[in-house]
Amino acid sequence: MTTAGLHCEQLSRRVGDRLLLDGLNLSVAPGESLALLGPSGCGKTTTLRLLAGLDPVSGGRIRLDGQDVTHSPAGERQVAMVFQSYALYPHLSVLANLELGLEVRRVPAPERRQRIAEVLALLQLEGLERRRPAQLSGGQRQRVALARALLRQPRLMLLDEPMSNLDAQLRDQLRPELRALLHRAGHPVIHVTHDQQEAMGLADRIAVLESGVLQQVGTPQELYHRPANLFVARFLGRPGINLLAGEAGVQLGIRPEQLRLVESGGLPARLLRREWQGSQQLLWLDTSRGELLLLAEASLSPGEQLQVSWRPEDELRFSSASGERLA
Amino acid sequence: MPIALPLLAALIWSLLPLLWQLLTSLRTPEALVLQGPAAWLQGWTLANYRQVLQGDPPFWRYLFNSCLVGAASTGLTLLLAIPAAYGLQRQRPALRGGISLLLLAAAMFPYVLLFLALLELARALGWGNQLLALALPYAGLSLPLAVLLLRAAFADLPAELEDAARLEGLNLWQRLHRVLLPLLAPAVASTAILVFLFSWNEYPIALTWISRNDMLTLPVAMARIAGSSVYAVPYGAFAAATVLGGLPLLALVLVFQRQIVSGLTQGAVKG
Amino acid sequence: MTLLLLLPALALVLGVFLWPLLRYGWLSLQASSVLTGLVPMPNGGANWQRLLADARFWQDAAQTLRFAGLSLALELLLGLGLALLLHRPLPRRGLVRALVLLPWALPTTVMALGWRWILNDPFGPLNGLLQSLGLPAYGFLSQPASTWLFTVLADVWKTTPFVALLLLAGLQAIPSELEEALRLEGAGPWQRLRRLTLPLLAPYLLLTALFRLAQALGVFDLIQVLTGGGPASSTESLALYAYLNAMRFLDFGYAATLMLGMFALVLGLSALVLLTQALRRRLAEVTP
């Protein structure tokens, strides 16, 4: 077991009698980017705050580069965080925002100036030094927050919904840039999101959380094609996975794009309604085994009788009782 | 247009008694008792102001005393209220709610009830006739409202700002001094002005703690001028004193009306 | 740890508010007057027996209630009107608010003296007005039956702006969409006030009323300076009576008892207001 990077064992957080996080085991290597994905209230922000030292841990251990930081104060962990709101100090200029942390850590002035100049250049923020946060665009604010985090020279970089305050177009543009930048910086990165597209675009691995319990960790491809359980299967993929009754005690899952329309020999189906989505149509089909969703290019009208089929190897089989995927 | 009339009425209602004081202060005693329109042509004088300003002690002495007490009370109140408000905001909701409710009850309490026990304390500790000692009860009386107002202001700041500062290694003092307080400046200003107004206007405690003529605060001095007899008050001189005593407050209210209003408003919203 | 930050402030607040009440509790069971040389000596419940039999105490209690009741009613009514006025778009809003607020900001004693001149018999401007209308001068401050009304007038003049500002805060917290929605449904201004504004303003009205009730029951500065409690004690408030017992008759034991009696009155009435409010809310919940 390597010691570099982040390792947490059995990490828990309890408030009153509510268990917000239950025995989380997670490791992130230097240079690796992990997304914590889940619906709101699943414990992903709790995890981030525990790692940052902003909330006290109820159980378990956190080790950073081999050092136990479970109970270290936030300011001594060398952990940086980009907050959802960016949390830029509104009364300070961009320069003063970047300088405050260095100043209280008694970094000598010449070194401060040099490091700030480097990070400003890296994030293309030159010329904005004198502006207040309110005078910046959303994308610029995000870059200033990132610059402040990078100046911390962190052993772990945390990002809380870093894209949620940006419009869709800017998100698509910034995602690859951010990913490249974080890879170059070389520290372990954890970023929290409820947006699977963002998770897949930014992260090497994704950890899916639900009700404070880790469901699965893996590459985006693993999670999509080999989900550990029904929750993960349903949470990833849009339009969502089709679920049909299989043999006794088994539920089948098939992704909409893996269903196809056939001339004969398939499952008879009637087209209920359709939604035009540009390049494809989303079709709702009524079959004897339940309602199915499928993506097709053909032009069809409601009421038509069709037949659907899929390859048996694309079937995902889940236990109806536990929701776990069966081999 | 329909709004102009009631507005005018409200302004006249508020200002007429004050304007009358101003008018009275500029009239000779003889002119004050004259009747009829002809009286307005004569009897204008500045003698009342001269009399007040050259009295013993001169009137500015009371203004100075009140300023001194006001400044000391405001300073002491803020010194205690800012950390208390921060500490209160960091408590568990149940405890925070309980303490806030007690503070609210204290802020509403008719404090005149307390003067006798406070007077006993002042005598036991030898604080009578000590202007600065007044700052202690004044701060104690102002603290409930001040803590509530500042607590609400702390609650309005995004929690992520302080989290960010903690991650950067700022200690509590640095977070307050470098990040939180600059953002709270408007709320601190509102609170300061309300505390200053309270201590400038406070009467029963100043009345019982201070007896030396040159140590009186403005409200007590004014009451003492008139205290002798209802019928023999030198009204012209007194009106001049009212005007002089009111001018600093007029300036304060005109300059800081936004802070005063927002302070009162916050008090209402968060209380 | 953060609790430590609270402690100095809490200690001073407790010292100023709680200590006197505890002290009064003890002092009210002592004889401590000129007769004892102000040295407290236990006298059983003599002070309390005296209080119950003290006609002047009960008269002052009634007078204080009368003053507080009328002042509160007028201040809430006028304050609400003023708040509705100030809530509308106004030219030079800041200046208008500052000018309206001025009476509240001035020391009570200062303006009580101002009112003493305005109400002066026969030279005050109000009597000047009466006389120029051909009416006889009126002894505003020398009629045992009516002088209390003029103490109410002075209090209402000074405090209405404060009430108005608190209520204004409540008005500004009501989203304007609500009023616009009701207007689209054809509700007139009176209906909008009664069906929307007043119910949403209720918590502010309650808070303001409680605050003003407690303050009015403790009225002291105004009465002491404007009338000195006269004529014939007809405007004397409980606070003034307690003050006289302490400072003029030098009877600390009885003064402390009076303070506690007054405290009980404030507490009881506040509880009553809160209770009726709670009851009304409960009733509104049960009745459809």
The tens digit of pLDDT for each residue in A32-53 reads 999 999 998 899 999 999 999 9
Distance from C-alpha of A130 to C-alpha of A105, rounded to nearest angstrom = 22
pLDDT at C72: 95
Say if B186 falls within a structural domain.
yes
Full domain range(s) for residue B58:
46-270
- Which of C98, C109, C173 lies nearest to residue B222, judging by beta carbons? C109
Full domain range(s) for residue A202:
6-230
Residue C253, phi then psi, degrees to nearest 5 = -60, -50
3-state secondary structure chain C: CHHHHHHHHHHHHHHHHHHHHHHHHHHCCEECEHHHCCCCEECCCHHHHHHHHCHHHHHHHHHHHHHHHHHHHHHHHHHHHHHHHHHCCCCCHHHHHHHHHHHHHCCHHHHHHHHHHHCCCCCCHHHHHHHHCCCCCCCCCCCCCCHHHHHHHHHHHHHHHHHHHHHHHHHHCCCHHHHHHHHHCCCCHHHHHHHHHHHHHHHHHHHHHHHHHHHHHCCCHHHHHHCCCCCCCCCCCHHHHHHHHHHHCCEHHHHHHHHHHHHHHHHHHHHHHHHHHHHHHHHHHHCC
pLDDT at B34: 66
- B270: part of which helix (H) or strand (E)? helix B235-270
Distance from C-alpha of B111 to C-alpha of C110, rounded to nearest angstrom = 19
A123 and A220 co-located in one domain: yes
Distance from C-alpha of C94 to C-alpha of B256, rounded to nearest angstrom = 10
Please state the domain count of chain A.
2
The answer to whether B10 and C100 have CB atoms below 8 angstroms apart is yes
| HSE-CB for C216 with a 13 A CA cutoff | 33
What part of C 24-63 touches B (C-beta under 8 Å)?
A: 24, 27
C157-191 pLDDT, tens per residue?
999 998 998 898 889 888 888 888 888 888 888 88
Q: Are strands A305-309 and A290-296 parallel, antiparallel or unpaired?
A: unpaired
Q: Please provide the average confidence, as pLDDT, over all residues in chain A.
A: 90
Say if B59 falls within a structural domain.
yes
Q: In what order do the strands lie in the sheet containing A205-210?
A: A79-82, A156-160, A189-193, A33-37, A205-210, A213-218
Say if B79 falls within a structural domain.
yes
A6 has which bridge partners? A28, A64
Distance from C-alpha of C260 to C-alpha of C21, rounded to nearest angstrom = 7
Distance from C-alpha of B175 to C-alpha of B163, rounded to nearest angstrom = 10
pLDDT at A176: 86
Say if A238 falls within a structural domain.
no
A93 and A156 co-located in one domain: yes
Q: In the numeric block, which tokens belong to residue B270?
A: 């968060």
Please tell me which residue of chain C has the smallest CA distance to B135.
C12
A111 and A180 co-located in one domain: yes
Burial of C141 (0-12, 13-18, 19+ CB in 10 A): buried
pLDDT at C94: 79
A222 and A248 co-located in one domain: no
- Confirm or reject contact between B186 and chain A (CB < 8 A): no
A223 and A280 co-located in one domain: no
pLDDT at B229: 44
| Pick among B257, B259, B262 to test the C interface (most C CBs inside 10 A) | B257
CA-based nearest distance B263→chain C, Å: 10
CA-based nearest distance B85→chain C, Å: 7
- CATH architecture of the domain C42-104+146-282 equals Orthogonal Bundle (1.10)
Is the pLDDT reported for residue A1 higher than 80?
Answer: no
Tell me the percentage of chain B whose pLDDT exceeds 90: 43
Q: What is the mean predicted confidence (pLDDT) over B117-130?
A: 89
A38 and A134 co-located in one domain: yes
- Confirm or reject contact between B93 and chain A (CB < 8 A): no
The answer to whether the CB atoms of B178 and A100 lie below 8 A apart is yes
Q: Which residue has the higher pLDDT, A181 or A36?
A: A36
A217 and A274 co-located in one domain: no
Q: Where are the domains of chain C?
A: 42-104+146-282
Which residues from chain C sit within 8 angstroms of residue B204, using beta carbons? 220-221, 239, 243
The answer to whether the CB atoms of B167 and A54 lie below 8 A apart is yes
pLDDT at A94: 95
Distance from C-alpha of B52 to C-alpha of A165, rounded to nearest angstrom = 64
Say if B256 falls within a structural domain.
yes
Q: Please provide the average confidence, as pLDDT, over all residues in chain C.
A: 89
Is the pLDDT reported for residue B271 higher than 50?
Answer: no
The answer to whether the CB atoms of C218 and B111 lie below 8 A apart is yes
Which residues from chain B sit within 8 angstroms of residue A87, using beta carbons? 158, 160-161, 163-164
Residue B254, phi then psi, degrees to nearest 5 = -65, -40
A23 and A138 co-located in one domain: yes
Say if B28 falls within a structural domain.
no
CATH code, B181: 1.10.3720.10
pLDDT at C255: 93
Q: Please provide the average confidence, as pLDDT, over all residues in chain B.
A: 85
ipTM (interface predicted TM):
0.89
| Tokens 């690859």 -> residue | A176
A240-272 pLDDT, tens per residue?
899 988 888 899 999 998 998 888 888 899 999
Q: In the numeric block, which tokens belong to residue C59?
A: 């008269």
Q: How confident is the model at residue A123 (pLDDT cuts 50, 70, 90)?
A: confident
The answer to whether the CB atoms of B161 and A76 lie below 8 A apart is no
Which residues from chain C sit within 8 angstroms of residue B230, using beta carbons? 116, 141, 228
A27 and A153 co-located in one domain: yes
Say if A327 falls within a structural domain.
no
Q: Which residue has the higher pLDDT, B79 or A40?
A: B79
Say if A324 falls within a structural domain.
no
The answer to whether the CB atoms of C5 and B86 lie below 8 A apart is yes
| Pick among B99, B112, B149 to test the C interface (most C CBs inside 10 A) | B112
A224 and A251 co-located in one domain: no
Is the pLDDT reported for residue B268 higher than 60?
Answer: no
The answer to whether A102 and A138 have CB atoms below 8 angstroms apart is no
Q: What is the mean predicted confidence (pLDDT) over B70-87?
A: 96
From A230, A263, A278, give the residue that closes a domain: A230
- Which of A73, A87, A104 lies nearest to residue B164, judging by beta carbons? A87
| HSE-CB for B125 with a 13 A CA cutoff | 12
Please state the domain count of chain B.
1
Please tell me which residue of chain C has the smallest CA distance to B194.
C105
- Which of B161, B169, B171 lies nearest to residue A87, judging by beta carbons? B161
The answer to whether the CB atoms of B257 and C247 lie below 8 A apart is no
A35 and A164 co-located in one domain: yes
B239-263 pLDDT, tens per residue?
888 888 888 888 888 888 877 777 7
CATH code, A267: 2.40.50.140
Q: What is the mean predicted confidence (pLDDT) over A78-100?
A: 93
- Confirm or reject contact between B176 and chain A (CB < 8 A): no
pLDDT at C270: 92
